[in-house]
Structure 1
Amino acid sequence: MGKTILEMKGISKEFTGVKALSNVNFKVEKGEIHCLVGENGAGKSTLMKVLSGVYPHGTYEGDIIFEGEVQKFSKINDSEKAGIAIIHQELALFPDLTVYENIFAGNEIRKGPFVDWNQTVVRAEAMLEKIKLNINHESLIKDLGVGKQQLVEIAKALGKDVKLIILDEPTAALNENDSENLLRLLQDLKNQGITSIMISHKLKEVLAIADKVTVLRDGQTICTLDAAKGELSESLIIKSMVGREIDDIYPKRTTHHFGEKILELCNWTAYDPKLGRNVVENVNIHVKKGEIVGIAGLMGAGRTELAQSILGNPKGYKLQGDLFFDGIKKVYRHPKEAIQAGIAYVTEDRKGNGLFLIQDIKQNITVSNLHVISSQGFINTNEEVKVSNEYKQSLNIKAPSIEQLVGNLSGGNQQKVSLAKWLFAGPKLLILDEPTRGIDVGAKFEIYTLMNKLIGEGLSIIMISSELSEVLGMSDRVYVMAEGKIKGELSAEEADQEKIMQLATL
Structure 2
Amino acid sequence: MSGVEIAFPGVKALDGVGLRLFAGEVHSLMGENGAGKSTLIKALTGVYDIDAGTIVVEGVDRHFATPSAAQDAGISTVYQEVNLCANLTVAENIMLGREPRRFGRIDFKSMNRRAAALLERLDLDIDPRSVLAEHPIAVQQLVSIARALEVDARVLILDEPTSSLDADEVAQLFVVIRRLRDAGVAVVFVSHFLDQVFDISDRLTVLRNGTFVGEYLTRDITPVGLVSKMLGRELDALTDLDDESRAPASAVPGAEPVVRAVGIGRKGVIEPIDLDLFEGEVVGVAGLLGSGRTELARLLFGADRSDEGSIEVRGRLTKLRTPRAAIGQDIAFCSENRRSEGVVGDLSVRDNLVLALQASRGWLRPIPQKTKDALVARYVEALDIRPANPDALLRNLSGGNQQKVLLARWLITQPKVMILDEPTRGIDIGAKTQIQKLVSELARDGMSVVFISAELEEVLRISDRVVVMRDRRKISDRRNVDTSVADLMETIAAGSSEPDGTRRDGAGLTGTDGGPTDA
> TM-score normalized by structure 2?
0.61
Which of the residues 472, 477, 496 maps onto 2:475? 472
| Deviates further, 363-372 or 94-103 | 363-372
2:26 counterpart of 1:33: yes
Q: Say whether the 8 Å CA contact 1:261–1:326 is kept in structure 2.
A: yes
Which of the residues 437, 440, 455 maps onto 1:446? 455
- Residues 403-453 of structure 1: per-residue CA shift (max 9 Å, x gap): 559xxxxxxxx9x999998788665467899xxxxxxxxx86437965995
Structure 1 residue 13, shift from structure 2 partner? 0.7
Structure 1 residue 175, shift from structure 2 partner? 2.9
5 Å-filtered alignment, 1:383-394, equals none
- The equivalent residue for 1:113 is 104
Which of the residues 158, 163, 171 maps onto 1:172? 163
SS of residue paired to 2:152: coil
- The equivalent residue for 1:204 is 195
5 Å-filtered alignment, 1:243-392, equals 243-244=232-233, 257=252, 259-260=255-256, 262=258, 289=278, 325-328=313-316, 335-343=323-331, 355=341, 369-371=356-358, 376=369
Distance 1:115 1:17 in 2: 48
Q: Say whether the 8 Å CA contact 2:357–2:409 is kept in structure 1.
A: no
- The equivalent residue for 1:234 is 223
Structure 1 residue 261, shift from structure 2 partner? 5.2
SS of residue paired to 2:195: helix
Structure 2, unpaired ranges of 5+? 235-247, 265-271, 286-294, 361-365, 386-394, 422-451, 480-493, 496-519
Is the alpha carbon distance of 1:418 and 1:240 closer, same or farther for their aligned partners in structure 2, counting shifts above 3 Å? farther
Name the aligned partner's letter for residue 12 of structure 1. E
Distance 2:384 2:112 in 1: 56
2:207 counterpart of 1:220: no
Name the aligned partner's letter for residue 471 of structure 2. E
- The equivalent residue for 2:43 is 50
2:10 counterpart of 1:17: yes
Q: Say whether the 8 Å CA contact 1:362–1:385 is kept in structure 2.
A: no
- The equivalent residue for 1:76 is 67
SS of residue paired to 1:369: helix
| Deviates further, 201-210 or 16-25 | 201-210
- The equivalent residue for 1:99 is 90
Q: Say whether the 8 Å CA contact 1:362–1:403 is kept in structure 2.
A: no
Structure 1 residue 90, shift from structure 2 partner? 3.2
Structure 1 residue 14, shift from structure 2 partner? 0.5
Distance 1:216 1:61 in 2: 17
- The equivalent residue for 1:151 is 142
Distance 1:129 1:420 in 2: 58
Distance 2:221 2:179 in 1: 22
Distance 1:102 1:126 in 2: 14
Is the alpha carbon distance of 1:329 and 1:67 closer, same or farther for their aligned partners in structure 2, counting shifts above 3 Å? closer
Distance 2:344 2:98 in 1: 32
Is the alpha carbon distance of 1:385 and 1:378 closer, same or farther for their aligned partners in structure 2, counting shifts above 3 Å? same
Q: Say whether the 8 Å CA contact 1:351–1:357 is kept in structure 2.
A: no
- Residues 40-91 of structure 1: per-residue CA shift (max 9 Å, x gap): 21211111111100013xx521211112211111110110111001222333
SS of residue paired to 1:96: coil
Is the alpha carbon distance of 1:368 and 1:16 closer, same or farther for their aligned partners in structure 2, counting shifts above 3 Å? same
Number of equivalenced pairs: 405
Structure 1, unpaired ranges of 5+? 1-7, 246-252, 269-282, 295-303, 391-399, 406-413, 434-442, 477-495, 498-506
Q: Say whether the 8 Å CA contact 2:206–2:214 is kept in structure 1.
A: yes
Structure 1 residue 12, shift from structure 2 partner? 0.8
Q: Say whether the 8 Å CA contact 1:360–1:403 is kept in structure 2.
A: no
Q: Say whether the 8 Å CA contact 1:332–1:338 is kept in structure 2.
A: yes
- The equivalent residue for 1:189 is 180
Percent identical: 30
Q: Say whether the 8 Å CA contact 1:88–1:168 is kept in structure 2.
A: yes
Distance 1:33 1:361 in 2: 47
- The equivalent residue for 2:118 is 127
Q: Say whether the 8 Å CA contact 1:54–1:75 is kept in structure 2.
A: yes
Name the aligned partner's letter for residue 87 of structure 1. V
Distance 1:161 1:431 in 2: 48
Q: Say whether the 8 Å CA contact 1:360–1:402 is kept in structure 2.
A: no
Name the aligned partner's letter for residue 35 of structure 2. A
Distance 1:17 1:286 in 2: 40
CA-atom RMSD in angstroms? 5.4
Structure 1 residue 119, shift from structure 2 partner? 1.9
Distance 1:28 1:402 in 2: 41
Name the aligned partner's letter for residue 49 of structure 1. K
Distance 2:383 2:193 in 1: 31
Structure 1 residue 20, shift from structure 2 partner? 1.1
| Deviates further, 43-52 or 326-335 | 326-335
Structure 1 residue 189, shift from structure 2 partner? 0.7
Structure 1 residue 220, shift from structure 2 partner? 1.9
SS of residue paired to 1:34: strand
Q: Say whether the 8 Å CA contact 1:33–1:190 is kept in structure 2.
A: yes
Structure 1 residue 190, shift from structure 2 partner? 0.3
Structure 1 residue 23, shift from structure 2 partner? 1.7
Distance 2:331 2:154 in 1: 50
